[in-house]
Structure 1
C-alpha cells in the first residue's frame, strides 16, 4: 500500500505535467554573451530569457510585529526584517501582474483581475493548497525551505499562501522565468523534467539572493535606529540611512490611519543579466520615495510578546 512518503517524489510530476512540445529557445545558455544591466540597454533585447524586459527589479521587505499564527509555531526572526517578494516593474515604473494564468497558484488573488480593473482577465482562485513545501522537499531543498520558513513570513495566514501569491502575481511577469506560455520562450528547456518546477525554485532562490543583499535591520541598528514602543523616528533620517547604506533611495512605506507606522521598504535595482543570478545594482525609486507622515515621527514598533523567535 502506497503512503505519502512513497508518493512524495512523484508529486512534482503530478502537479506540473511535463511540457508537450519544445520551443526554439530550448536548452540555450545565457553564458555566451556579455550580460547587460536591465533598463540600460540601447537596443531591443533579443533574448528575453537572459535579460528581463521588466527590468526595474524591486527587492521588497516587511516589518511586522506579529504573525497571527503564533499558537501554531509561526514566529518572526530575531533582528531581521522579512521577505515580501521580488518584483518585476517596467523601466518606467509601471507593472503587470498575474501574467501567466497557467501558473496561477494564489488562493487569494489580489487584485482578482490581471489589470486590477473590471476589463481585465479574471484570475482564477487556486484551490490546490500548498505546492511549494512538497516541491522543495521532493528536490531535497531542505535549506531553502528552512530559510523561507524563517524569513519569508505571512500575516494571519500560512506562509505558503504568501509564497504562492508572490510567484503567481510577480514571478510570472519576469521574462527570465518564462516557461512557454502563450507563445513565449521556454527559458528552461527540455533538459528539465518540468520548466514550471525549475521556475518556482529559481524564483524563491532569486528572492532570497536579493533579500540578503539588503539587511535593513542591521543598517538601521548600526545608526541607532532600533524597534521601540517609546521612541518615534524622523522618516527623513531613516530614508537617509537606507539610501547611504544601500547606494540608492528606496521606497519606505508606512501603515496606520496617520501613515506613521513603519512597515515596509522597496529597494529598486537594475539586474545584470537574469535576476536569478543576483547581480543587482541599486537605483533610486521612481516617483515618491515614501508615503509616511513627514510632519511627525514614525513608529518602528517592537515585536509583540511571543511573536519573535528566540535565537
Structure 2
C-alpha cells in the first residue's frame, strides 16, 4: 500500500482499464538486444522515439520501497519478519514529473482489497473490482519458482493479512503501469503470468542491493526501545550507502502531539517505518541498471519524519515476530 503524497495528487493521478498501456501495440519485434537502452526520463525515453518494451517510457521514475515493521499480526500462523533486515514493500513506477498512476490493466487485477478502489482514487473513477481467485502466490508454481516463493514469504511480508494478498496488491496497482511489463512485450508465445514472475524477480533483485538495515548498522544506528535518533542520522547513513537521498517515512504520533514537542511547529511523525529509493533506469526496468536520484528530484519532500534532534524511534521488533 502507498500513502498519497500531496504533491502528486491531481491530474497526473489517473488510471486505465486497457489491456495495454499503448493501445494497438504489436506483440512482435521487441528484440531489446537490438535497441539502445536509453535512460528513463531522458528525451529519448518516449514511445514515439524508442521501443517502450526495451526502455521504460511510462513509469520512468522507479521507486524500490521497503518497510520497517515490528509485527505481522499473523505470527501464530508462521508469518513472521526476517531478522536483521528490512522487508520489501514494492517496486513503483512514478511518472517523470513525480506523479503516478495505478491499476493500469484491470484484466490483470489480482488484488483482493484494492486501495484505493478506483483507478483514479476518486469516487467518480472506474471501480477496481476485488479479486476473488486463487492467491497470486500460486502463479509461481507452474513455473517451478518455489525458491522465489520461499524468498518472498520470508522477505516480502504483509501485516494483518496473508502475504499473497500483499503481492497481488503490489503487482496489480504498480506493475501494470510499467511499459516494460506490458503484455505485448512478452511476444506472441506469451505464457500466462510470465510478467508476474518477471515483476517479482525484478522487485527482489532491487531489494537485494538495498541493505537498509546494514547501512544503518554501519553508522551505529540499531533498533532500540530506549534510544531515539535524529532524522539527519538516518539521512546521512542511507544517502552514503545508496548514493542519493531516499525518502524516509515515519508513522506514529506527530512530534507536536507528544509531551516533549507540544507547542512546537514540528508536526513530523516519530516512528521510523519506510524507505523509498528513487532511480532512473537504463533500458528495461528488469535490467536492474538503475541510476540513483534524490527523492527531491521533482521538488517534493524527502521525509515526513520529525526534524527535532533525537526524537525519531527505530523500534525493536515485537517479541515472537522475528526469526
**Does 2:211 align with 1:215?**
yes
**Does 2:20 align with 1:24?**
no
- Deviation readout 1:220-275 (Å, 9 max, x if unpaired): 00110010000000011101111111000100000012110000000000111111
Partner of 1:230, secondary structure, is coil
Stretches of structure 1 that go unaligned for 5 or more consecutive residues are: 1-21, 180-185
Per the alignment, residue 76 of structure 1 pairs with: 81
**Does 2:143 align with 1:139?**
yes
Stretches of structure 2 that go unaligned for 5 or more consecutive residues are: 1-23, 255-268
**Does 2:243 align with 1:247?**
yes
Deviation for aligned residue 1:278: 1.2
Deviation for aligned residue 1:23: 6.0
Instruction: Give the aligned length.
Output: 279
Distance, in Å, in 2 between the alignment partners of 1:224 and 1:269 is 26
Partner of 2:216, secondary structure, is helix
Distance, in Å, in 1 between the alignment partners of 2:45 and 2:85 is 40
Partner of 1:170, secondary structure, is helix
Q: After superposing the two structures, state which structure 1 stretch, 48-57 or 89-98, moved more.
A: 48-57
Residues 1:308 and 1:39: Cα distance change in structure 2 (over 3 Å): same
Per the alignment, residue 201 of structure 1 pairs with: 197
Distance, in Å, in 2 between the alignment partners of 1:35 and 1:177 is 15
Per the alignment, residue 231 of structure 2 pairs with: 235
**Does 2:177 align with 1:163?**
no
**Does 2:157 align with 1:149?**
no
Per the alignment, residue 302 of structure 2 pairs with: 289
Per the alignment, residue 306 of structure 1 pairs with: 320
**Does 2:121 align with 1:125?**
no
Deviation for aligned residue 1:212: 0.8
Give the conservation status (yes or no) of the 8 Å contact 1:250–1:266.
yes
RMSD across aligned positions (CA): 1.4
Give the conservation status (yes or no) of the 8 Å contact 2:27–2:188.
no
Deviation for aligned residue 1:42: 4.1
Distance, in Å, in 2 between the alignment partners of 1:52 and 1:274 is 6
Deviation for aligned residue 1:199: 0.7
Per the alignment, residue 8 of structure 2 pairs with: none
TM normalised by structure 2 equals 0.84
Give the conservation status (yes or no) of the 8 Å contact 1:105–1:126.
yes
Residues 1:118 and 1:248: Cα distance change in structure 2 (over 3 Å): same
Partner of 1:84, secondary structure, is strand
TM normalised by structure 1 equals 0.87
Q: After superposing the two structures, state which structure 1 stretch, 25-34 or 275-284, moved more.
A: 25-34
- Deviation readout 1:135-188 (Å, 9 max, x if unpaired): 212211111111101100000110001000000000000011111xxxxxx010
Give structure 1 regions of 4+ aligned residues with deviation exceeding 4 angstroms. none
